[in-house]
Amino acid sequence: MKDYYYVYRLRSKVSPKEIYTGLTDDLEERVKKHNEGGSPHTAKWRPWEVEVAVAFSSRPKAVAFEKYLKSGSGREFARRHF
């Protein structure tokens, strides 16, 4: 979908305990880059699969949700619900 911002959570296929949370406006292309090794933060644990992605029409709301998911309470929320 165009004009949306995605907060996504990836899980490594080789090491399922490894999780990465990010934000993008092109989810398919971003996951492709993660799996090609284009991000130094995720290259070691590839390939990745999308565990969950949430679409926002507002970039500030997407940024706030990503920040929350990276906080202690947000990681616990994700662990329980995703």
Q: For residue range 16-58, list pLDDT tens digits in order.
A: 999 999 999 999 999 999 999 999 999 999 999 999 999 999 9
Which structure tokens are listed for 53?
Answer: 């992605």
Phi-psi map region of 61: left, alpha, beta (phi>0 left; psi -120 to 50 alpha)? alpha
Largest CA distance in the chain: 33
- pLDDT greater than 80 at residue 2: no
Task: Write down the domain spans for the chain.
Answer: 5-81
Higher pLDDT, 2 or 64: 64
pTM of the model: 0.92
Distance in angstroms (rounded) separating the CA atoms of residues 49 and 73: 23
CATH of 5-81, one of 1.10.287, 3.40.1440, 3.40.50, 3.10.450: 3.40.1440
For the chain, where are the alpha helices, taking DSSP H only? 27-36, 59-69, 72-81
